[in-house]
Amino acid sequence: MRFQTQRPASWQVCIACGNEMVETDPHPRCNVCGGLLEIHHRPPHLTPAELLQRFTERRGGSPGANASGVWRFREIVLPSADAVVSYPEGNTPLLHRVVLDRWSGVEHLLLKHEGHNPTGSFKDRGMTVGVTQARRIGATAVACASTGNTAASLAAYAAQGGLPALVLVPRDGVPTGKLAQALAYGAKTLLVRGDFDDCLRLVEEASEHLGVYLLNSINPFRIEGQKTIVLELLQQLSWQSPDWIIFPAGNLGNTAAFGKALREARSWGLIERLPRLAAVQAAGAAPFARSFAEGFVERHRVKATTVATAIKIGNPASYDRAVVAIRETNGVVLSVPDAELLEAKATIDASGVGCEPASAVSLAGLRQLVRSGQVKPGDRVVAVLTGHILKDPDLLLRYHQETDPPPPGANRPVEIEPTLAAVERVLHEKREQ
């Protein structure tokens, strides 16, 4: 259908067939053709200057939902929402470390660290909006498939919103930190004998047949929340666009959200120029990079393998939205081998910043783009780190204790007798190295 009268403040549109649905329609996909949905908003009734003034006031304002790094931008996220379920989330730092400039090859690299969110990943930004919407439409339960972070985030926000949560994760390969969170926050946790792509197919079927509200990033309200990673970093840069935003890409929710945020920010007069997006995949899970290399003539699917379990995804759900985002921003998509992402991670960790493995593809990808000359050393680059260092402690311990051969930056613990002489010996050894 199409609205015949004036459109409401926000509504849903299928990006495949143009079908329009009301904002409170609970279908996770277009109810005509099954395509991906996108939320459209009427342009804000405020001028750009008035909007920016509001965002500034709320940033330093009193505690509560308006101080959230998501709901601060409510006019361009979900204007009609009230009774929001907010931790609050967002307000993550933009960091700079000279060692990471040197490693990547750009002169002044900024890191937007989304691991500083309440459950340790950017997922909280989409989940606060998704669970708020679930309550608005009277959902009785919420569900997702996940490589771990979405599950942890959904579990936490569902607990806060008083909704039962069901999470489907691959039986093998979900890092300890993430699984522990999902259990602790109280989600019913299903360990599926299959990979993430199997979990996603299954949860979509479950949402259709069992009446649970789907909160994967297929859900367009999740995308609205994730837009605020970009809105917040633009605000931190006084609305002066950087040249590049570089970030990890798995199921492609963020790629879609970043493109939409930039498109809207420009059309509503908040920024003048679009940064270029650079989406980075792990080489063993790079169907989107492969499609990009061929000019997006074909949608590829692969059997994914990578140590970066968060982005071990072979059939990304937001593919169609992400193609638009890359095209509109003159963006690029690339992939990095596991050895490089692990080296990048060890460098980020040793700088004192720390992040989970998938996040480090941002830095590894940036080094590749600098070496190939696509990114110039003087370009203004923001790299997004998507998750916290403690999400995947098992990988860290394996990495730092590997001896055959020790990987770059490995830092083996040393077992000693409880004597001063033993401590002294280790101290001297360190100095001699």
For 392-426, the DSSP string reads: -HHHHHHHHH--SSPPTT--------SSHHHHHHH
Q: In 3D, which of 107, 61, 311 has the Cα closest to residue 195?
A: 311
Is 387 one of the binding residues for ligand F0G (CB under 6 A)? yes
The residue within the footprint of ligand F0G, chosen from 95, 249, 280, 304 (CB under 6 A), is: 249
Phi, psi of 206 (to 5 degrees): -65, -40
Q: Which CB atom, from 104 or from 146, has the smaller least distance to ligand F0G?
A: 146
CA-based nearest residue to 155, from 215, 211, 205: 215
CB contact set of 85 (below 8 Å; sequence gap of 6+) = 128, 131, 132, 135, 157, 160, 161
Among 117, 119, 146, 335, binds ligand F0G (CB under 6 A): 146
Measured distance CA(424)–CA(419) in Å, rounded: 9
Within 285-304, the residues that bind ligand F0G by CB under 6 A are none
Applying CB under 6 A, does 219 fall inside the site for ligand F0G? no
In angstroms, how far is CA 61 from the centroid of its own chain? 26
* Residues 324-353 within binding reach of ligand F0G (CB under 6 A): none
Residue placing its CB nearer to ligand F0G in the complex, 165 or 311: 311
Please name which of 72, 100, 96 lies closest in space to residue 84, comparing C-alpha atoms: 72
- Residue 386 in the binding site for ligand F0G (CB under 6 A): yes
Q: What minimum distance in Å lies between the beta carbon of 31 and ligand F0G?
A: 24
Q: Interface mask (CB under 6 A) for ligand F0G, residues 63-82, using x and -?
A: --------------------
Question: Which CB atom, from 37 or from 51, has the smaller least distance to ligand F0G?
Answer: 37
| For ligand F0G, the closer CB: 181 or 368 | 181
Q: Name the one range near ligand F0G by CB under 6 A: 33-41, 82-90, 233-241, 243-251.
A: 243-251
Among 95, 139, 310, 395, binds ligand F0G (CB under 6 A): 310
Exposure b/e, 52-88, CB count within 10 A at least 16 = b: bebbeebeeeeeebbbbbbbbbbbbbbeebeebbbbb
Q: Is residue 293 classed as helix, strand or coil in its secondary structure?
A: helix
- Binding residues vs ligand F0G (CB under 6 A): 121, 123, 146-150, 217, 248-255, 310-311, 356, 358-359, 386-387
